[in-house]
Structure 1
Amino acid sequence: MNQLRPVRLIVIACVGMIVFASSPVCSQARAQTASQRQQFAKAIRNAATRVLPSVVSVEVIGVAQGGAGSNSSEVANDAPSCGLVVDPSGLILASDIILRRPSASLLVVLEDQTRLAATVVARDYHRGLVLLKTEADRSLPAIEVPSEVRTPVGGTVVAVGRYGTDQSPMVSSGILSARGRLEGTMLQTDARVSPTYYGGPLVDLYGNVIGIVVPAVAPGGAPDDTSWYDSGIAFAVPLPIVANKLPQLRDGNDIKKGLIGIVPRSNDPYEEDTQLAAVRSRSPAEKAGLQAGDVIESVAGQTVLMFQQVKEALGPYDAGDEIEIKYQRDGQSSTINVTLADSIPPLRPQRIGAWAVETDTALTEASEPTATKDISDDDRITEDAPGVQVVVAGVLPGSPSDGKLVEGDVIESVNDAAIESLATLRRKLVTAEPNVEIEIRVRRDDSEEIVNVMPTSVAGALPTTTFPAWKANNESESDDPWDVKELRLPDVPNLGAYAGPENDQSIDGLALLVLLLSPEQRDPQDALKDYRKAATENGVLVCAICSEDDQRWQPKEIDTISRMTTLMAQRIPVGAIGIAATGAIKGNKPSAADSMVIAMALSDRKNFDGIAVSDQTRPPAVRLRENEPDRSLQLLLPIENVDDGPTWLAPLSKAGYPVTLGGELQFDDLLRWTRLLQSI
């Protein structure tokens, strides 16, 4: 210790001398920095002041509370949003967040606190905007709507709003982070915006309006569009697009997103692959002549190499717009014009009752029975790997495939479209036309055969049979029930456990059921002890997860559940994943876990193939999206008839989610349903 003291004193003395010697320089630097901050703050104030006369508040009066699809967020309950005057006669653009729940009336509050009743002229559903009309007794200060935006990415931008009875200005600055976000429709900024900014302007340092702030999140990024507010990730509709659409809105015409109806072959939108796995029935793509197997080369003049680029190229276009599609078929390039639609008949997912797996052709030729690799239709698949083929591993008794397909058949094409991966086959069947026979070409015993199969709807009564029993490999023939093991993430407090085989066991046909426990259940290992035998007999891993809080499940836990599910699928390969709450099982009351299951599955579409909840579940505040062919999701309810279902079931069915009727569900029924999620 004595040896350290002199060194310590020297260091302090040196530091003291440096500070003393440099203090005039530091003072000058601090003064310069303070001056720069003052100038920057002044520029922000000037920019905001330039547009503030055109910024108004929008109050929603008499908002209905509760009910299916209700939103308990801050926005819906008590927070006014903003609007921007775009015409002196009283036309105001605002965020359509104000219309997402029924209300008695809308009021526009001007800068001088004058309140004016407002009516809806038209709505842009695609970008989340609404045009309002007020009957003002004077001309209102309107902003100029520019035809182009020149603010560079990285430039300073300012979000402007108003709040309170005195219409106090609100300002939040940041940078313009990116253009063309959310599939080519939005500007992105890191300015922190609360719900009161929605509908207000995003301006540059010169006071030029470059966008209108709206609530939005990336697909699957959160359960609700308002979830990212005040997070440093905010979005705004570019003003040039608004200028383009304003005449249509003025005329009272609603605007909707343009839909085309194509289904990608690849699971990864960033993979260099634009081949189509399927084309939606009665869609613009089908009407224009696109077919499964076509490779998209360009969209509206933009060359595309991956499906994400296809989405971004299509993103800015609305229903009714005509775009040019260049595609390749059989080595020949062609061009067609497609008129986008505002809707496509919802999915009516079909299946033929077969269980298929991907196999390595080299191992298959060697006739190794353990060569099959059970893989499901999500990010766990490496599609179209060299030497991969799709093989029938089992047929469901009494299904359309019974007596037509046999174990070992190699599926080569469906309706002349080549099948090169399990994902392609699944998407082809999910989008099959109801009551229309499909032609399947298979290779069986070194010869080709054509099999005609009539698909059946996924919706309906839960089948009473399942696929042939799964089998462990030759190294593990034990019939003992699986052990229960702990499942934890190092950075979250949620407890988890699972009943399953050892990680190094190679077992075909396994499925995974993620069971969210009610908040009062705090011991996942104890919750699984009665399910070990049934899980083992059915070949379904069961993973139980507790909530962080003993009173509720929270939206932030969506990421935790997703990560735990991914961890499970990495430890033990599975063919399908369902997520359920114990409220779905006979004798159990619904809990917050049932609502969380719905929020979880609709937010995290990449992990789950089906959800099972109580019919008494209170639906969460999740913005419903249409069921998608590349992420098709099934729903199991403990009811005998759809007419006996809850009111929130109707919009789910309308959006293309097939409903399986489970009756008085027992836990074994839940496990059988999970296995059947593998069915194509």
Structure 2
Amino acid sequence: MHSKLSKHFFIALLTISVLAGCTQFAAAQTQEDLEAKEEQAIKESAALVSPSVVQIQTVGGLSNVGRLLTSTGPTTGLIVSSDGFIISSAFNFISKPASILVTLPDQRRFAAKLVANDRARMLTLLKIEAQNLTVPKAAPKNEIEVGQWSVALGRTYNTPLPSMSVGIVSALNRVWGKAIQTDTKVSPVNYGGPLININGQVLGVLVPLSSRRGSTETAGVEWYDSGIGFAIPLADVFATLDRLKAGEDLHPGLMGISFKSRDIYGVAPKIDRVRFDSPADKAGLKPGDVITNVNGKTVSRVAQVQQELGSHLAGDVVEVTVKRENESKTASVKLAEKLLPYEAGFLGVLPTRPSQTEESKGVIVRHIFKDSPAETAGLKKRDRITRFGEQDIKSLDDLYDAVSRLRPEQSATVVYLREDKENTAEVTLVTTPAAIPSDLSPEIIPDP
């Protein structure tokens, strides 16, 4: 009996082992099949877009731009119109080349003309004399999702298919709302090339980008092959393509405001200054206004305002709602390409440096410039300025801030103490004189 039970147990154990082995083999086979299908899908998607990916070579130009040694090797572009228009990264042309050559996938070669630049998204539009070119399909922006497959394509080698780097879409609306972020390898090899999905649709055009203000074509290039890459959605490129085709350079849209705090994430977007004759000034926005809504989206932090405005170009009109005291006001603001240079008014006083132990009771005048608004108003050495316009003055920074808010020919009331007696004077600021005084009062004011 015991022998029979052992035999049955052995047979059952053997059966289980065989079944487990079959299951593991089936799972391994399924995994291999899945990987093979993924590889095939990626290759097929690249093959679909390949006829639209071109090689670009530049000839001549600068060898250095700032501290950056410019590249002389081939790079990539993407056909965006069947009649010969090609979009690429502006980085590829920072050397200001004498000639630009484009090689199509069928090995035909053309001289290219630079038509226009999109300086907000660091793109350049080229034109070659060719017809019936293949234009890729753009992926709808609302269908792009974080985590989906993405493939970066470049055309730097003379191979049937472009070079490929596979990854995922890691974030959306990056760099103040302008770009898709990907962890594929992005570098000068594929700058200007497409970022595609596995359906053969183009997600965007690969470019180096940075969120820093005043960024140039080289900003962000230090991140190449780091797993942090950016692409401008092709749908956005198509939306402004006609303007680029007409030779119009596109620029970031400027409103002309600055905020009270440098903390862009933790405080409300309260306007500190409105630049004279700027779009914000023309729309009636004022210092002290708190922005609550931009184009229908509620905002409560400075970063959110920057995010909503970041993707807009000069000439775009945005609707801005602000809270002013207890009222809500909405204004249409037409963004500008550039702002007029700001010139602060000149008061004509030189203050003393505050003592480490001195309490903040205003700013003591050390020197009065000859024929200045301060001299005309009757201010003298040793006067202590305690108020300028609507602002109490407790430090040099307060006085500088208050005076710098007014332009030449604007007026303000100055409150000052002279021998502990409070006095007021009206001053009208002037343009800062170009001449430097031949002598200035010493830091320690001698007794009279």
Match of 2:207 in 1: 214
CA shift digits 1:523-567 (9 cap, x unpaired): xxxxxxxxxxxxxxxxxxxxxxxxxxxxxxxxxxxxxxxxxxxxx
Distance, in Å, in 2 between the alignment partners of 1:230 and 1:304 is: 34
Correspondence list, 1:81-230, <5 A: 81-136=75-130, 138-146=131-139, 148-166=141-159, 169-219=162-212, 224-230=219-225
Match of 1:397 in 2: 367
Distance, in Å, in 2 between the alignment partners of 1:180 and 1:106 is: 32
CA shift digits 1:311-365 (9 cap, x unpaired): 11111221112222212223222122111111112345667655899xxxxxxxx
SS at match of 2:305: helix
SS at match of 2:189: helix
SS at match of 2:262: coil
Q: Structure 1 233/426 Cα, relative in aligned 2: closer, same or farther at 3 Å?
A: farther
Match of 1:244 in 2: 239
Indicate if the aligned counterparts of 1:273 and 1:307 stay in contact, CA closer than 8 A.
Answer: yes
Structure 1 residue 216 displacement after superposition: 0.8
Is 1:275 the counterpart of 2:270? The answer is yes
Amino acid aligned to 1:134: I
Indicate if the aligned counterparts of 2:366 and 2:382 stay in contact, CA closer than 8 A.
Answer: no
For structure 1, the 5+ residue unaligned runs are 1-21, 358-367, 373-389, 470-680
Amino acid aligned to 1:96: A
Give the number of the structure whose alpha-carbon radius of gyration is greater. Answer: 2
Distance, in Å, in 2 between the alignment partners of 1:179 and 1:44 is: 22
Identity percentage of aligned residues: 32
Q: Structure 1 141/461 Cα, relative in aligned 2: closer, same or farther at 3 Å?
A: farther
Match of 1:232 in 2: 227
Indicate if the aligned counterparts of 2:409 and 2:429 stay in contact, CA closer than 8 A.
Answer: yes
Match of 1:330 in 2: 325
Structure 1 residue 309 displacement after superposition: 1.2
Indicate if the aligned counterparts of 2:101 and 2:111 stay in contact, CA closer than 8 A.
Answer: yes
Match of 1:80 in 2: 74
Structure 1 residue 306 displacement after superposition: 1.3
CA shift digits 1:358-399 (9 cap, x unpaired): xxxxxxxxxx98486xxxxxxxxxxxxxxxxx8645556356
CA shift digits 1:196-222 (9 cap, x unpaired): 211111111222111111111221799
Q: Structure 1 289/213 Cα, relative in aligned 2: closer, same or farther at 3 Å?
A: same
CA shift digits 1:635-665 (9 cap, x unpaired): xxxxxxxxxxxxxxxxxxxxxxxxxxxxxxx
Indicate if the aligned counterparts of 2:169 and 2:182 stay in contact, CA closer than 8 A.
Answer: yes
Correspondence list, 1:358-369, <5 A: none
Amino acid aligned to 2:409: V
Structure 1 residue 285 displacement after superposition: 1.2
SS at match of 1:227: helix
Match of 1:346 in 2: 341
Distance, in Å, in 1 between the alignment partners of 2:366 and 2:36 is: 73
Which TM-score applies when normalising by structure 1?
Answer: 0.54
Distance, in Å, in 2 between the alignment partners of 1:264 and 1:467 is: 37
Correspondence list, 1:252-271, <5 A: 252-271=247-266
Amino acid aligned to 1:53: P
Correspondence list, 1:533-544, <5 A: none
Distance, in Å, in 1 between the alignment partners of 2:206 and 2:241 is: 16
Please, which moves more after superposition, 451-460 or 102-111? 451-460
For structure 2, the 5+ residue unaligned runs are 1-19
Number of positions where the alignment pairs a residue of Structure 1 with one of Structure 2: 416
Indicate if the aligned counterparts of 2:386 and 2:392 stay in contact, CA closer than 8 A.
Answer: no
Q: Structure 1 252/42 Cα, relative in aligned 2: closer, same or farther at 3 Å?
A: same
Distance, in Å, in 2 between the alignment partners of 1:461 and 1:130 is: 46
SS at match of 1:51: helix
Q: Structure 1 168/462 Cα, relative in aligned 2: closer, same or farther at 3 Å?
A: farther
SS at match of 2:36: helix
Which TM-score applies when normalising by structure 2?
Answer: 0.78
Match of 2:46 in 1: 48
SS at match of 1:98: helix
Correspondence list, 1:566-577, <5 A: none
CA shift digits 1:93-145 (9 cap, x unpaired): 11122333321111111113321111123222211112211112x52111124
